[in-house]
Chain A
Amino acid sequence: MRRMIVLELALMICAISAVMPPSAIADSTTKRCGKTGRCYVIAKKEPRPSTPARRTGDLSPGSRADRQNAADESRVKDANKKFSAALAVYDRRLASYNRCLQTFDPSLNKTGCGSAPTPPDVPRLSSATFSGRGNQPTPTAGQAAAIAVARLQLPSIPPGIGPSPDIAGHQPVEHGGGWLPTMALGRRHYQRWPDFRLSRRPIRIAGS
């Protein structure tokens, strides 16, 4: 009895599907026949993607340049991060060293303040590795100032009284590559020398 019901249901489904009109959805192999009796297969038009280069990964020169620019920017960002971290460490050491110099008392501390901390290396990203215009890493004014402070050559001589014997007349010294951008902006940096006098002296680029 149950088998008969199943058979009836199956037959009913078959019959209904047989009398249903076929779908009019046409695909690329749809046959279209005209009044001459000839039939045609016309390729279905597909809408063009709005941005084919980006979606299909087309290696057009423009997209390649974009990717290169993005890679360059990423490298600059990474270098800036590393340099900022190293500079922060150097700043802390320098502050500690300066404090030591200010509070130095030879009668209490005969060992001195040790040598000045070494400034971190400025990241050097060769312009040859950067493609596209304007992608070369250019330090901001703040970064340039930080670099200048970092490259400041502090005298390793122990503090004493009176002007430093190494510094003759507090004359500005041009050295190799010239003045830092902060000088171009007309700003002056004040520097505390080990003799505790505030000296108004331009900053020079060390080793450049």
Chain B
Amino acid sequence: MALRGRGFVSVGAVVACCALASACSLDQSPASTPSPTPVAITPAESQIERQMRLDYEAAEEAYRANMAEQDRQSQLGIAVKTEELTSSASDNYLVFVLQVLRDIRDSGWRARGTTTIRGVARGGWKEGQVRLSACEDNSAVTFVDKDGKDVTPKNGVRTYVQDLTVNRVRGGWKVSDVESRPVKNHEGVPCGA
């Protein structure tokens, strides 16, 4: 009996450790702040650390620029492969973005409001490729038709964790792919602020 009690204590300790470990994961690091703010190079920062930091910042900047262009076009009800889109997205992600914009345009809708990026977490780095996890919240975005009638989809979740793959292409960074995870809210996810 005493042994079993000790076992439960051990399990509890393990769970507590894991909880602590998750609390100390990437999303809590100062580098995962929503906006890419330049950080002074400290003597402790190695060459590779500096490169990683710059790559993450550039990748996040590309993602945010692309989202801003998506907001702009969806508000205008257009779907144009603009320089802003192509310079920040490629491959599957570009196809996906253009499909979303085309659907809005073809429905005769226009968006009101913009997508809120709750946070961007760093998911992995290798030479020329970065993984990001972005918390997108579209609950504030509404859609109106040509008559100004609210046609915002009521059913379905519009809050996502977007796992992004960002590649360096000819010196610049482009979001090349995304995997979406609809979530009720962003609590407990790395990118959640």
The reply on A168 being an interface residue by CB < 8 A is no
Binary contact readout B153-179 vs A (1 if CB under 8 angstroms, 0 otherwise): 101111010011100000000000111
Which residues on the A side are within 8 Å of B163 (C-beta)? Answer: 22-24, 26
Contact of B157 among A19, A30, A37 (CB under 8 A): A37
CB neighbors of B among A1-16 (8 A): 1, 4, 7-8, 11-12, 15-16
**Do A4 and B96 touch (CB < 8 A)?**
no
The minimal Cβ–Cβ distance linking A21 to chain B, given in whole angstroms, is 6
The contact size tier of chain A is 20 to 34
Given contacts A19-B21, A32-B179, whether A24 and B123 have CB atoms under 8 Å apart is yes
- Interface stretch, picked from B35-43, B52-60, B98-106, is B98-106
**Do A42 and B96 touch (CB < 8 A)?**
yes
Complex Cα spacing A12 to B17, Å: 9
The reply on B133 being an interface residue by CB < 8 A is yes
Write 9 A-B pairs (CB below 8 A) sorted by A numbering: A7-B11, A21-B121, A24-B133, A26-B178, A32-B178, A34-B103, A38-B103, A40-B96, A42-B95
The minimal Cβ–Cβ distance linking B142 to chain A, given in whole angstroms, is 10
Knowing that A21-B25, A26-B163 are A-B contacts, what are 9 other residue pairs whose CB atoms are under 8 Å apart, sorted by A's residue number?
A: A7-B7, A8-B10, A33-B158, A33-B180, A37-B156, A37-B157, A37-B158, A38-B153, A44-B92
Residues of B within 8 A of A (CB): 3, 6-7, 10-11, 14-15, 17-18, 21-22, 25-26, 70, 74, 91-93, 95-97, 99-100, 103-104, 111, 115, 121, 123-124, 131, 133, 136, 138, 141, 143, 153, 155-158, 160, 163-165, 177-182, 190
**Do A30 and B177 touch (CB < 8 A)?**
yes
Complex Cα spacing A192 to B142, Å: 109
The reply on A161 being an interface residue by CB < 8 A is no
The minimal Cβ–Cβ distance linking B23 to chain A, given in whole angstroms, is 9
Complex Cα spacing A39 to B136, Å: 14
